Copies of this chain bind each other. A is one copy, B any other.
Amino acid sequence: MSNDSSSRIVADLRDWIAAAPPGARLPSTRALVERYSAGPVTVQKALRTLTAQGLIESRPGVGTFVRTVPTARSADYGWQTAALGSPRGHGSRLFSALRTIPNDRIALHSGYPDRELLPERLVRAAFTRAGRGDAAVNRPPSAGQPDLQAWFAAELAAVAPAAVLPPAPSDVVVFPGSQSGLNSTFQSLVGPGRPLLVESPTYWGAILAAARAGVRVVPVPGDSRGPRIEDLIRAFRQTGARAFYAQPHFANPTGVQWAPERAAEVLEVVRDNGAFLVEDDWAHDFGIDSVPIPLAARDDAGHVVYLRSLTKSVSPAVRIAAVVARGPARERIVADAQAESMYVSGLLQTVALDIVTHPGWRTHLRSLAQRLATRRDLLVGALREHVPDARLEVVPRGGLHLWVRLPDRTDLARLVRDCEDEGVFVAPGDEWFPAEPTGEYLRINFSGPNPGAFPEGARIIGAALARQLHG
């Protein structure tokens, strides 16, 4: 029997146990076999799982019973308040992009592509292969598996101009996801109390990582062609910052792709200030009308520190990202990565490399670009038709989201709540602002489940907004 069938029985029996009194007797294995139309092996597996979870206990020759636990009482953890002191910046908060919601709702809030956009067949085959190989039991070096490091380096080398010395495999540091990469990069290059320039708005995960590292973020405004150069120059001068975090390609949330001249100007400003550009190429695999060429490919003086993740495009199960950095910066980042996570599962690294070097990966990316184009255009059309009060400043040439400007008098929190009440989930734009929001925005994901519901979702958003604005 398949694993999943036993999981189903476990899930169902957990509900039964939750409702039963402690000491209640479970139906016999034979009765369960009948109830679930499953084999006895599958039922036994489910019972073992529940036993291991401490929910049931079996008394041989008597039967299986719901486990007796001490009665819950209200514990007093008040003493911890004194021991912990006041929190340092980032509290426990559930960001919209991470929320999981029931299947029957219209999910436009997520930061992740839907399962149907993942290379599922490649992922499964890669796990099966890797489970047979040495990666299932070996420990890789702290900086990463050499063959995967080489792949990340080669990806940049392939687009580097002839005059630029491409990064070496040893310039690559592998992380268990891009969030860990951001953390180590900010810790290593900036450090507590020092300033970090960021685009505004920008990725909430980066704002969170900066807060964790005790780094002081300094917002730099931009327009539809990239960061405003005068503001960038002024921010470097006024703060003495030595690093600028940015997403030059299909930025999350704005969708902006830096114009080539603007990118060149930013690089020049960064060099003039003896600073780092932390280039977060989060949507490298999500180009639609445009293939992003990393700025890192144009720099061999160690100014660009490049962050590349595979998690979103390959699978959430393959938590693999890389930071490419040169010189002393690379040494700092490796040391920090080792102190933070020691090393990354070699099996996940093997799986990641297997997938991205498989011929099916290129085919997948081509089909993905087409499907993202269809979804984007469908959602753009639906918003234009049903939410006439909203404005799209940029139709993104890649990425997963639209960034929708609402009239200034919009009550954003109420709008998000009203939509949710009618089954449509959207993310309020203020989560992406490192300081006060400069306007009312929604971030709407066009890569979520069920694009057929986009028009209906847009209609509900439009109606809720119209009720606010026009009574």
Hey, which bits of chain A sit against chain B, CB under 8 A? 2-4, 7, 10, 48-49, 52-55, 69-70, 72-73, 75-77, 79-85, 87-88, 90-93, 98, 100, 112, 115, 118, 120, 123-142, 147, 150-151, 153-155, 157-158, 162-166, 176-177, 179-180, 183, 187-189, 191-192, 205, 208-209, 211-212, 214, 242-243, 274-276, 300-302, 315-319, 326-329, 331-332, 334-336, 338-348, 354, 356-357, 359
Contacts and interface: CB of A to CB of B under 8 A. Distances in A.
Contact of A136 (B129, B317, B336, B339): B317
Given A150-B54, A208-B339, A302-B80, A129 B3 contact: yes
Contacts of A118: 137
A5 to B, nearest CB: 11
B319 A85 contact: no
Contacts of A338: 92, 98, 208
Given A54-B158, A79-B302, 8 more contacts: A72-B165, A79-B301, A83-B274, A88-B191, A124-B136, A127-B136, A128-B132, A345-B345
Contact of A83 (B129, B192, B243): B243
A308 B317 CA distance: 22
Nearest to A357: B52
A183 B341 CA distance: 9
A316 to B, nearest CB: 4
Contacts of A82: 242, 274
Contacts of A150: 53-55
A316 B139 CA distance: 5
Contacts of A3: 129-130, 132-133, 354
B4 A134 contact: yes
A347 B75 contact: no
Q: Assembly of this chain: how many copies?
A: 2
A14 to B, nearest CB: 9
Contact of A342 (B85, B120, B179): B179
A336 B340 CA distance: 13
A3 B72 CA distance: 52
Contact of A130 (B48, B73, B127, B177): B127
A146 B311 CA distance: 21
Contact of A328 (B77, B135, B356): B77
B345 A316 contact: yes
A164 B165 CA distance: 63
Contacts of A301: 75-77, 79
Nearest to A140: B316
Given A83-B276, A131-B127, A180-B340, A300 B75 contact: yes
A294 B163 CA distance: 60
Contact of A339 (B183, B188, B332): B183
Contacts of A153: 54
A3 to B, nearest CB: 5
B154 A340 contact: no
Nearest to A48: B357
Contact of A70 (B98, B162, B341): B162
A379 to B, nearest CB: 22
Contacts of A334: 92
A335 B80 CA distance: 16
Given A80-B302, A132-B2, A54 B340 contact: no
A345 B88 CA distance: 27
B129 A328 contact: no
5 closest A-B pairs (Cβ-Cβ)? A54-B154, A77-B327, A127-B131, A139-B316, A317-B347
Contacts of A120: 136-137
